[in-house]
Amino acid sequence: MKNRTLIFLIILAITFIQCNNSAQNITQNRDPQKEEFNVKKLVGNNFDKSREKDISDKFGFRIIDSLTTEFQGMNIKILFESIKDWDDPGDFHRISIVSGTDIKSFFNINGWVQSGAYEKQYIGGNSVEILGSCILTHASDKDLLLITFGYVYASMPGALTIINLSRFYHPALIYNDNVLLYDLTDLNNDGKTDLQVTDKDVEEFNPTSLKKYLLKSGYFSKMD
């Protein structure tokens, strides 16, 4: 009995050492330039993923657009996916980002759209390039941002969705609110691209409706 107990304790000790070493290796192999994402710093609302699995099983997804880019030596592929045979609005409902062996997806049951006149009513004159389904902007030497536009319901602007592709260990949703993109510009002369949005269309716009956000450590913070 004592021998069995001793053997069990030895096995337990070896298992603990192996797990501890694995954890240390994971920590040591992590890119020191990357950071953990804090969802509390998200501006706006996170997506409801509760129906994604059911929809995926019942309908599936198809790729309607894709693009590949490189940032800081990292190859990134972005897939824009639509729900198959789906009657509700939206040009695409899932964005899948592939970097190396890592895949991160964002699902939006309300749908995003390929940009049209409504989404371009301000940014068309601000030298912001739209790549069909999205905007990609090198906001700083650490931040590559993906910007997409949500489907418009009634008089409410569609969701403006911004994903930071590069700052954190995985692509992270940093902004998701029902507003119109007014401009991407450096508001405080720190060399980073900041954000200006409004909930008013061109006919109703006034300067007081502008909301300004500064890019700080990968997140957007309301400008005082």
pLDDT digits (tens, 9 = 90+) for 132-164: 899 999 999 999 999 999 999 877 899 999 999
- Indicate the pLDDT class of residue 3, thresholds 50, 70 and 90: low
pLDDT (0 to 100) of residue 27: 37
pTM metric for this prediction: 0.85
**How many Å apart are CA 113 and CA 96, to the nearest integer?**
15
CA 97 to chain centre: 9
Predicted local confidence at residue 207, as pLDDT: 92
- Mean pLDDT of the region 16-42: 63
Cβ-count burial 212-221 (b if 16+ within 10 Å, e if not): bbbbeebbbe
State mean pLDDT over 84-103: 91
Domain boundaries, the chain: 48-222
Distance CA 194, CA 33 (A): 21
In contact, 99 and 75? CB cutoff 8 Å? yes
Query: What mean pLDDT, rounded, does the chain reach?
Result: 87
Ramachandran angles phi, psi of 55, nearest 5° = -70, -40
What pLDDT was estimated at residue 97?
A: 97
Asked whether residue 1 carries a pLDDT value surpassing 60, the answer given is no
Higher pLDDT, 62 or 18: 62
**What is the pairing mode between strands 92-99 and 159-164?**
unpaired
Q: Is the pLDDT of residue 91 over 60?
A: yes
Question: Mean pLDDT over residues 63-76, rounded?
Answer: 94
Decide which of 83 and 87 is more confident.
83
Tell whether the model's pLDDT for residue 35 goes beyond 50. Answer: yes
Instruction: Write out the chain in H/E/C secondary structure.
Output: CHHHHHHHHHHHHHHHHHHHHHHHHHHHHCCCCCECCCHHHCEECCCCCCCHHHHHHHCCEEEEEEEEEEECCEEEEEEEEEECCCCCCCCEEEEEEEECCEEEEEEEEEEEECCCHHHHCCHHHCCCCCCCCCEEEECCCCCEEEEEEECCECCECCEEEEEECCCECCCEEEEEEECEEEEEECCCCCCCCEEEEECCCCCCCCHHHCEEEEEECCEEEECC
pLDDT at 64 over 90: yes
Contact between 194 and 215 (Cβ < 8 Å)? yes
Asked if residue 181 lies in contact with residue 114, where contact means CB atoms within 8 angstroms, the answer is: no
CA 138 to chain centre: 14
From 115, 144, 143, 140, select the one nearest 129 (Cα to Cα): 115
DSSP 209: G
